[in-house]
């Protein structure tokens, strides 16, 4: 048996990798992928704790998290496409004004 803390540590490291990606990279699409990575790290925690506590609520929550992730990706990537159309760039350092 693998102790639950191993899963939680793996999840914490995965979340940190996502945070590093969001803070360091400047490409909007890669930042978006790193957000997905963070959501997945949280999902891993949910499933591990769900097994630890003999409850299925964590797994059901994962289903909802995936639904939210899908909706977020649909709208977020549409925003990135619009951004690219208007400014011909997806480097977020060059997109620092809300309107012009």
Site for another protein in 30-59 (CB under 8 A): 30, 32-34, 36-37, 40, 43-44, 47-57, 59
How far is the C-alpha of 20 from the C-alpha of 24, rounded, in Å? Answer: 6
Residue among 38, 12, 2 nearest 23 (CA)? 38
Residue of 85, 97, 99, 100 that binds another protein (CB under 8 A): 85
> How would you class 10 by CB atoms within 10 Å of its CB: exposed for 0-12, middle for 13-18, buried for 19 or more?
middle
**Least spacing, CB of residue 83 vs another protein, in Å:** 10
60 in contact with another protein (CB under 8 A): yes
What is the closest distance, in whole angstroms, from the C-beta atom of residue 51 to another protein in the complex? 5
Q: Which is nearer to another protein, 75 or 98 (CB)?
A: 75
End-to-end CA distance of the chain: 58
């Amino acid at each position: 048996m693998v102790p639950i803390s191993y899963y939680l540590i793996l999840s914490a490291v995965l979340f940190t990798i996502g945070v590093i990606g969001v803070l360091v990279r400047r490409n909007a699409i890669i930042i978006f992928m790193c957000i997905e990575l963070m959501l997945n790290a949280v999902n891993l925690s949910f499933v591990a704790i769900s097994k630890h506590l003999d409850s299925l609520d964590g797994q059901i929550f994962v289903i909802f998290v995936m639904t939210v992730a899908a909706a977020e990706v649909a709208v977020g990537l549409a925003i990135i496409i619009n951004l690219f159309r208007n400014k011909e760039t997806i480097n977020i350092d060059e997109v620092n004004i809300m309107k012009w």
